[in-house]
Structure 1
Amino acid sequence: MKLGRYVLALAAALLAVGGAGAQELVVGLSTPVTALDPHFHNLSPNNNVADHVFDKLVHKDAKEQLRPGLAESWKALDDTTWELKLRKGVKWHDGTEFTADDVIATIKRIPNVPNSPASFATYTRPITDIAAPDKLTLRLKTARPHPLLPNDLVAIRIVPKHIAETAKTEDFNSGKAMIGTGPYKFKEYVAGDRVVLERNEGYWGPKPYWKTVRLRMITNAPARVAALLAGDVQMIEAVPTADIARLQKEPRVTVSSAVSNRLIYLHMDSDRDKSPYVFDKSGKPLEKNPLKDVRVRKAISLAIDRDAIVSRIMEGQAQPAGQLLPDFFPGTSKKLVAPKVNQDAAKKLLAEAGYPNGFSITLHSPNNRYINDEKVAQAIAQFLTRAGIDTKLEAMPSNVFFSRAGKLEFSFFLAGWGAETGETSSPLRALIGTFSPATGMGQANRGRFSDDGVDALILTAMTNIDDTKRNLMLAAACDKAIGELQAIVPVHYEVSSWALRKGLAYTGRADQYTYAFEVRPAK
């Protein structure tokens, strides 16, 4: 009798998660994947999928703490030399052996991927030499001390040597080059629709629960929720803020949330003397770019009501931002807080900068990448218009947006950045450091902000082996870049939510990644 009740309970649990048991998990993703090449575009939706197929030397847990990956251990031999011991017995999906040569070829490939809209070279540029004393040992040399190298390695997905040396981005998108050591093997990719994966039965780590994973790209938020409630998918990411309270009361659903490392911010063209989407009030292009003036950039920041965005648009699922990361992350400033809206002060700064009557500008934004991104952009446009900067919004799908932003087509745009390394040097180097292939900084600095003093602070901090001193230097770089020069305008930090069918469990991640291999039956 007890056995019969157990079988019935088990059957009910399987039905609750969609009837597939451990065979198939269907996940509703919020944003299209733009490329499967793990080194082409440093974009979270792409990285998220890549992590199912490709592995990294260093992993991080849900709270961004470093964990061993393909490297079992790492240590500094001296100020400029790191030694990594690689995991023995790891096989590529085609059955060949993983060795140090694969890592060397991967690191050489990353800065040379053609037409990358946001390169991973930020994370490999400090490495000046790499050698393999044996097939499971690596020694990485840096020109200067680089204590955050293990953090940087979190962002590097390793591919086989022969793939690294010959494959093009198109080969990954076709599936030809999709050979990794990760928990899942690639099966199918239909652009804009789905990615299908099969469990890697020979995976070196914990065996994934699900034999098959279907990652469906459902960019329409209500459609994602409807698919979950109908049982068409068993899990969705980016739960619409308007639906969270309802889903928390829904008996068929479990909701998981986490404060993320995702900053939503405004980037401004502070480089060009004449910017393409800046006009006077009559619509005539301005000959002088007002965004080059720090007073104008500070006026933009003061004109925004962050509290209203968080409470009304994000419905409490965000935190107002005054710097690059929430202040519990390493390297953040104790001085920078989210500014309170002050329209009068914004107008005064505009007048001091020579724009007493304001000017006109176009704000560009994706409409399917971040939580409520178009609605947030609409609110920002309204706030700025009240301050005297007549703002027109032009929103577009994320694949179009990032292609155009990478070509520096915009004057002023809304975007987001998740700190892959789990500390402040990531956004400082990528978003604010002067764009330079030589240093690897500024790979996502699409406003081309540049300041020698900020660069010096970042680069000096990156070489300091004392954690406390380095974090103080990174905080000083934030104070100068944001507090003094307003390189970008922080708006808010996202709070991420996932919803799953009852009977499933997922721990919300600070990096916002949706990992099918971490979805398990609830205990």
Structure 2
Amino acid sequence: MPQACLPPFRRPGLALCAVLAVVGPLSGAAAQSLVIATSSPPTALDPHFHNLMPNNALAAHVFDRLVHQDARQNPVPGLATAWTPVSDTVWQITLRQGVRFHDGTPFTAADVVASLARAPDVANSPGSFAQFLRGISAVDMIGEHMLRITTVTPNPLLPNDLSMIDIVQARFRNAPSEAFRNGEAMVGTGPFRYRAFTPGQEAVLARNPDYWGGAAPWQQVTLRVIPDDSARLAALAAGDVDVVEGVPSSQRAALEKRPGVGLWSTVSNRLIFLSFDTERQSTPFAAGPDGQPLQSNPLRDARVRKAISLSVDRGALAERLMEGSALPAGAVLAPGFFGVSQRMQPEPADAPTARALLAEAGYPKGFQLTLHGSNNRFPNDDKVLQAVAQMMTRSGIAAKVQTMPFSMLLSQGGAPNYAYSAMLLSFGANTGEASSSLRSLIATPDRATGMGAANRGRYSNPGFDALLRRALGTVEPEARRALLEQAGEMAMADHAIVPLLFQVNLWATRAGLSYEPRADEWTLAQFVLPRK
């Protein structure tokens, strides 16, 4: 059985795991069905279409990857039982034998070759997986259960990158996303079989009794989308659902006092941050203090971005608004993750210095700025944005807020529209290493390589890019760590983004269940277990 809690970080006053109910085993009937209330709807069934947490979590029930990640995002065997570097640029991948897809078809190396070719090549992808495969120059079969992967340059992160690519059947190599949307291609090797999907409402899965990792305890699993925090908890109290993800911090104290509820939490790999339009010479949602258009984009000036950072009281956001269910952020990942410099600390709020920086940048009377963000993506997202706007206003930037559902924000705030000037966003480091966030959020966008795939402000710094490339090609772990730390420090010194908070992930379960909390936020039915 997985451990109940694996907290990676500790600080006084922050309990990262609480088990509030220990009861006897579930009855046979109850143990057959599981209903999970999720907070955000998947945007696609195609596991290669959009690199987004709700999509990835759903796919992890149906599909396997060559390399899996444990709760702390350490690589563990999946469909590959071993990955061995043969040289600086060649890896030998040993595949698991005896695995079958849900339709009975044997899993072979041909399925891996097809999947690695398909993942970076899906039409109209709003968040491509190409970044994880950018360095592969060849994938060669050596029999049905052995592969040789050659990279363009030394790539020590290949196992981490492979942990992001779901393996589909070779016959779906050229299948359009519609084939997954209608269920035809939803045939994986994972612990659950696909049964039905209603967009925006729920996905229904059935246990795969022949799963190579052992059959899950649940005959049927329903992943029910309930975006409203209160509604999710009400469903748990009414017995309509068994597990709730994204428990709001405002409800934590009450849940701790409620009999028959289990709480499970850990520090997340998710960063909540501000992203700025740093590319356009003029930007649509910034104006002078009198409301007149500005001739130049103030967000291109690092002094302005630093002023915004110094406007924010991160401690107040974490302790008061988030009620302790978040940590102040000064980097792209929390302390303890690989490649995060201990020298990067949250900037303290300093309104006088912020005003001085604005004056130095040519805005002695400040300016107006509209902040855009979601109202259903992560706990208190709209409240965080409102609080940040108030803090910025006190420093001289008259900030207004416009929130909307995350799907709408994403469709308008990314390529090719880039409709906004400043956005409150969040990002989970897929591989559990700083390189994941640095290359996605801060590297210069490049569709050919997949770099900058989530860089919605189109920030670009050639010096940073060069340093990151060196880090990504450095095999020796400590040398790579040092380069990643240096790259992170460079990005934070330039305020490429403004980190605000690290999320603390919190789940609630009904009596008789346990859950292994994950840094990646995924809610996976296979790790919900009856307590004995």
TM range (shorter): over 0.9
For the residues of structure 2 that align with 1:161 and 1:358, how far apart are their CA atoms? 57
Asked whether the 8 Å contact 1:276–1:411 carries over to 2, the reply is yes
- Partner SS for 2:51: coil
Match of 2:291 in 1: 283
* 1:497 paired residue number: 506
Pairing 1:422–2:422 present: no
Residue 389 of structure 1, CA deviation: 1.1
CA contact (8 A) 1:118 1:406 kept: no
Matched residue SS, 2:491: helix
Q: Measure the CA separation in 2 of the matches of 1:378 and 1:81.
A: 50
Matched, 1:175 2:175: no
Mapped contact 1:277–1:285 kept (Cα < 8 A): no
Per the alignment, residue 254 of structure 1 pairs with 262
Verify: 1:468 aligned to 2:481, yes or no: no
- Residue aligning to 2:452: 442
Q: Deviations over 1:416-452 (max 9, x none)?
A: 1111111100000000001112332101111101111
Give CA deviations for 1:67-87 in whole Å, capped at 9, x if unaligned.
Answer: 100001001000000110000
Amino acid at match of 1:14: L
**Which of residues 348, 351, 373 is equivalent to 2:381?**
373
Aligned to 2:26, the other structure's residue is in SS state helix
Helix, strand or coil: the match of 1:158? coil
Across the two proteins, how many residue pairs are aligned to each other? 509
Matching residue of 1:4: none
Cα distance in 1, alignment partners of residues 63 and 293 from structure 2: 47
Q: Secondary structure of the residue that 1:14 maps to in structure 2?
A: coil
1:31 pairs with one of 19, 25, 40: 40
1:214 to 222, 232, 238: 222
User: What's the counterpart of residue 296 of structure 1?
Assistant: 304
Tell me the equivalent position of 1:93.
102
| Alignment equivalent of 1:332, drawn from 323, 332, 340 | 340
Distance in 2 between residues matched to 1:177 and 1:285, nearest whole Å: 50
For residues 381 and 176 of structure 2, what CA distance do their matches in structure 1 show? 32
- The equivalent of 2:422 in structure 1 is 412
Task: Report the equivalent of 1:14.
Answer: 26
Q: Could you tell me how far apart the structure 2 residues matched to 1:280 and 1:345 are?
A: 20
One-letter code of the match for 1:432?
I
Deviations 1:120-153 (A, max 9, x none): 1110111111110111111111111000110111
- Aligned residue for 1:150? 159
Match of 2:80 in 1: 71
Aligned residue among 226, 232, 236 for 2:234 = 226
Partners of 1:185 and 1:314 in 2: CA distance: 37
| Cα displacement (A) at 1:353 | 0.5
- Could you tell me which residue of structure 1 aligns to residue 17 of structure 2? none
| Secondary structure at 2:142 match in 1 | strand
- Equivalent residues of 2:441, 2:455 under 8 A apart: yes
User: Which one of the candidate residues 98, 116, 119 is aligned to 2:125?
Assistant: 116
Q: 1:193 Cα deviation (Å)? A: 0.6
Choose which of 266, 285, 308 in structure 1 pairs with 2:316. Answer: 308
Answer whether contact 1:330 1:471 (CA < 8 A) is retained. yes
Q: Would you say 1:486 and 2:498 are equivalent positions?
A: no
Q: State how far apart, in whole Å, the 1-side matches of 2:25 and 2:81 are.
A: 37
1:386 alignment counterpart = 394
Quickly say closer, same or farther: Cα 1:20–1:279, change in 2 above 3 A: farther
Match of 1:431 in 2: 441
Contact 2:24 2:512 (8 Å CA) reproduced: no
Inter-partner Cα distance in structure 1 for 2:393 and 2:35: 43
> TM-score with structure 1 length normalisation?
0.96
Unpaired runs of 5+ in structure 1? 1-9
The 3 A distance-change label for structure 1 pair 11 and 345 is closer
C-alpha distance after superposition, 1:149-169 (max 9, x if no partner)? 10111111111111122x212
Structure 2 match to 1:508 = 517
TM-score norm. by structure 2 comes to 0.94
State the AA in 1 paired with 2:207: R
**SS of equivalent residue, structure 1 residue 134:** coil
C-alpha separation between the residues in 1 aligned to 2:150 and 2:24? 56
Partner SS, residue 435 of structure 1: coil
What displacement does 1:401 show? 1.1
Q: Counterpart of 2:372 in 1: which secondary structure?
A: strand
CA deviation map 1:62-121 (0-9, x unaligned): 111111000010010000001100000111111111111111111111221111111111
